[in-house]
Amino acid sequence: MTTSRAPDTAVDVAERARAVRVMVFDVDGVLTDGGLFYGDHGEEYKAFNSRDGHGIKMLRATGVATAIITGRTSQVVLHRARNLGIAHIFQGVEDKLEAFAKLLAATGVEARETAYMGDDLVDLPVINRCGLAITVPDAPGEVKARCHLVTQAGAGRGAAREACEFIMRAQGTWAGQLALYDR
């Protein structure tokens, strides 16, 4: 038996986005396309989208904190997070809900003031508790059914940027970010 959230209207989703103070991302299948690349000596490689990264930087510039909660541990994720200014990084997480609770304590926000972007069943505990749940088009149906927003762009191909822009538009900060470039 599966359960899903009650359908949200566009107004409900925008209201949820207006309340967001912390945006949390999963990595594989959200910030990347989910592919895992290994070198001959065990090195792990990941491909990140530069527009996703810039969207995260713009969102941070508006005062929304950013975080990563991921089940895998990778130096490349740490490097990417530092490059983007993501202050809260939880890697090698078996229980994402426990990491989420630690994040809430560290930031002093309530669950309803967070957005979480995940793509698989392991993300459901946080998806079910955050204020704004976001996923990607190729997520399992059980995940999509519980999310408030499904991006049009794919994982590692603009989905994170789309989520960041949605939040900025809802919070009225998008025009200010756009004005920095539209001169």
Tell me the pTM: 0.92
Where are the domains positioned within the chain? 23-174
The answer to whether residue 134 scores a pLDDT higher than 70 is yes
**Token pair of 69, please?**
């909660």
Q: Give the number of residues written for the chain.
A: 183
The answer to whether residue 6 scores a pLDDT higher than 80 is no
**Token pair of 43, please?**
């090195």
**Residue 177 Cα distances to 14, 102, 153, angstroms:** 18, 30, 21
Distance CA 127, CA 147 (A): 7
Distance CA 163, CA 183 (A): 24
pLDDT of residue 2: 36
pLDDT of residue 45: 86
pLDDT in tens, 95-114: 999 999 999 999 999 999 99
**CATH number of the 23-174 domain:** 3.40.50.1000
pLDDT of residue 39: 84
Distance CA 116, CA 27 (A): 11
The answer to whether residue 54 scores a pLDDT higher than 60 is yes
**Token pair of 32, please?**
């990347």
pLDDT in tens, 75-94: 999 999 999 999 999 999 99
Question: Comparing C-alpha atoms, which of 45, 44, 92, 64 is closest to residue 160?
Answer: 64
pLDDT of residue 72: 93
The answer to whether residue 3 scores a pLDDT higher than 60 is no
